[in-house]
């Protein structure tokens, strides 16, 4: 079971990506919990996650967020091309690949 | 995803990336690093231009008689575009302020060195 947390300004635009990633997970038989929060809630939520993905619009906050997470889980900015295409499969597989190579 | 939704997400991802570059420019001058500002702005402007191209295309389609679908997502996109434009203008102002602040600090050190 992998738990992926997505964050953006209001948690709005990432919500559709979450839906697409969940569909991709079902199709690929990957057990995953994927959810989105506004950036302000990230600091309470990240402890439940294995991987944090940031919307391109809050990419500039990566350093600040990494300071709080202190390397305990990976933090990555979603590729803006994948984001623009709402390519849930690609985003999900990138995370799976990275978690796989880390363990 | 429909064609118009695809357009909206293309604007959203570009405008988001642009905003992030402008914010990085402010963060970098805050740390007294002025060397990266130009390239950060250049990258940001590239993304903003890409977003505007899609936006202009949508406006032209509407002017051509094709009625746009008004959705919360469209409103969100317009809001993000506006936000990004404001952040770009303010980022330029911040850079000037930090540059002046750095000059003032240098002057202060020079004066202090003379009197001590």
Gyration radius of chain A's alpha carbons: 12
Structure-block tokens of residue B104: 């003032």
Question: From edge to edge, which strands make up the β-sheet containing A32-38?
Answer: A32-38, A2-8, A51-54, A75-77
| Boundaries of every domain in chain A | 2-102
Structure-block tokens of residue B101: 């602040």
Domain housing B96: 3-115
CA distance A103 to chain B (A): 31
* Those residues with Cβ within 8 angstroms of residue A87's Cβ, 6 or more apart along the chain or in another chain: A20, A81
Q: How far apart are CA B111 and CA B116, in angstroms?
A: 9
Q: How far apart are CA B53 and CA B33, in angstroms?
A: 32
pLDDT digits (tens, 9 = 90+) for B52-61: 999 999 999 9
Check CB contact of A102 with chain B, cutoff 8 Å: no
DSSP string of chain B, one letter each residue: --HHHHHHHHHHHHHHHHHHHHHHHHHHHHTT--SSHHHHHHHHHHHHHHHHHHHHHHHHHHHTTPPPPP-HHHHHHHHHHHHHHHHHHHHHHHHHHHHHHHHHHHHHHHHHHHH-
ipTM value greater than 0.90? no
Consecutive H or E run containing A3: strand A2-8
CA distance B55 to chain A (A): 14
- Map tokens 């944090």 to a residue: A52
Helix B72-115 with B37-63: angle, nearest 10 deg: 160
pLDDT digits (tens, 9 = 90+) for B4-50: 889 999 999 999 999 999 999 999 999 999 999 999 999 999 999 99
Instruction: Evaluate whether the domain defined by A2-102 bears CATH number 3.40.50.2300.
Output: yes
pLDDT digits (tens, 9 = 90+) for B75-94: 999 999 999 999 999 999 99
CA A85 to chain CA mean position, Å: 16
Q: What global pTM score does this model have?
A: 0.87
CB contact (8 A) between residue B16 and residue A60: no
Number of domains chain B contains: 1
Closest A-chain CA to B21 = A60
The CATH number given to whatever domain includes residue B35 is 1.20.58.80
Residue A102 — pLDDT band, cuts 50, 70, 90?
low
pLDDT digits (tens, 9 = 90+) for A31-74: 999 999 998 899 899 999 999 999 999 999 999 999 999 999 99
The full length of chain A comes to 103
Question: Any catalytic annotation for residue B55?
Answer: no
């Amino acid at each position: 079971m992998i738990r992926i947390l997505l964050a953006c300004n209001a948690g709005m635009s990432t919500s559709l990506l979450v839906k697409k990633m969940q569909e991709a997970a079902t199709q690929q038989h990957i057990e995953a919990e994927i959810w989105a929060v506004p950036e302000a809630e990230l600091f309470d939520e990240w402890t439940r996650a294995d991987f944090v993905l940031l919307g391109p619009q809050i990419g500039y906050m990566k350093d600040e967020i990494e300071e709080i997470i202190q390397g305990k889980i990976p933090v990555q900015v979603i590729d803006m091309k994948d984001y623009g295409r709402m390519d849930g499969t690609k985003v999900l597989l990138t995370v799976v690949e990275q978690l796989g190579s880390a363990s | 995803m429909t064609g118009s939704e695809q357009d909206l997400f293309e604007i959203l991802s570009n405008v988001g990336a642009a905003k992030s570059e402008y914010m990085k420019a402010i963060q970098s001058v805050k740390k007294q690093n002025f060397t990266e500002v130009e390239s950060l702005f250049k990258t940001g402007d590239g993304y903003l231009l890409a977003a505007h191209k899609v936006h202009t295309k949508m406006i032209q389609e509407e002017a051509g008689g094709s009625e746009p679908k008004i959705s919360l997502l469209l409103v969100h996109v317009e809001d993000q575009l506006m936000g990004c434009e404001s952040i770009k203008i303010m980022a330029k102002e911040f850079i000037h302020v930090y540059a002046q602040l750095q000059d003032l600090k240098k002057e202060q050190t020079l004066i202090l060195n003379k009197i001590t």
